[in-house]
């Protein structure tokens, strides 16, 4: 029984001494990390080009789709020459999702000779922005951009070249 009494005494001593060793503070060494990723980059490969046309007496619209299809409505007669959607080449961190912001308001194309304008609106893209857009395993993405050009009659939009600029924003989600 002496061993039992000795163990009891030791246990009692530990219980009595335990509150003296408790502390109101404790330190933990924690870790932090950071990862630098490839910056997102975008360049324009081709400008949005509605091509050659004649508005005739009533005007109308010209639509260039992201797949390169061009159509007209109203009295607009499509002519020869080149037309195409805008293309952009985006590079960045492989397999990251990208937010793409197209113009939210119409932009104007201006005739530098007479100041007359035409409005570009109804922007569309491929891939569609209705779904998540992700960079490839190589960190690449090709985007095609189409829109609609509102054309006045021949007195509103006389002969000449009309041009303008717009902003497309690319960022990581």
Six token digits for residue 25: 């503070």
Q: Is residue 24 part of a domain?
A: no
Tell me the CA distances in angstroms from 95 to 17, 131, 132, 153, 173, one per residue in order.
58, 15, 11, 47, 11
In a domain, 15, yes or no: no
Q: How far apart are CA 139 and CA 41, in angstroms?
A: 10
Contacts of residue 66, defined as CB under 8 A and 6 or more positions apart, other chains included, come to 85, 124, 125, 126, 144, 145, 146
29 within some domain: no
Once rounded to an integer, what is the mean pLDDT over residues 16-29?
Answer: 73
Q: Is the pLDDT of residue 17 over 60?
A: no
Please check whether residue 31 lies inside any domain of the structure.
Answer: no
How far is residue 118's CA from residue 105's CA, in Å, rounded to a whole number?
Answer: 14
CATH number for the domain including 134?
A: 2.60.40
Output the pLDDT for position 131: 79
Structural domain for 154, as ranges:
40-172
68 is a domain residue: yes
pLDDT band at 88 (very low <50, low <70, confident <90, very high): very high
Asked, for residue 131, whether it belongs to a domain, the answer is: yes
Residue 121 forms part of a structural domain: yes
**Number of domain units in the chain:** 1
Residue 19, pLDDT > 80, answer no
Q: Is residue 34 part of a domain?
A: no
């Amino acid at each position: 029984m002496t061993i039992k009494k000795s163990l009891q005494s030791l246990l009692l001593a530990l219980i009595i001494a335990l509150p003296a060793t408790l502390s109101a503070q404790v330190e933990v060494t924690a870790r932090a990390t950071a990862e630098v990723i490839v910056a997102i980059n975008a360049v324009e490969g081709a400008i949005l080009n509605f091509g050659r046309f004649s508005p005739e007496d009533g005007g109308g619209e010209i639509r260039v789709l992201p797949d390169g299809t061009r159509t007209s409505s109203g009295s607009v007669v499509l002519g020869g020459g080149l037309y195409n959607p805008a293309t952009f080449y985006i590079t960045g961190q492989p397999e990251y999702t990208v937010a793409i912001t197209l113009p939210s308001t119409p932009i104007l194309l201006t005739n530098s000779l007479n100041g007359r304008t035409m409005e570009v609106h109804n922007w569309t893209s491929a891939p569609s922005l209705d779904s998540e857009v992700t960079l490839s395993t190589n960190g690449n993405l090709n985007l095609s951009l189409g829109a609609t050009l509102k054309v006045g009659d021949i007195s509103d939009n006389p002969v000449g070249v009309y041009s303008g600029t717009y902003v497309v924003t690319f960022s990581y989600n």
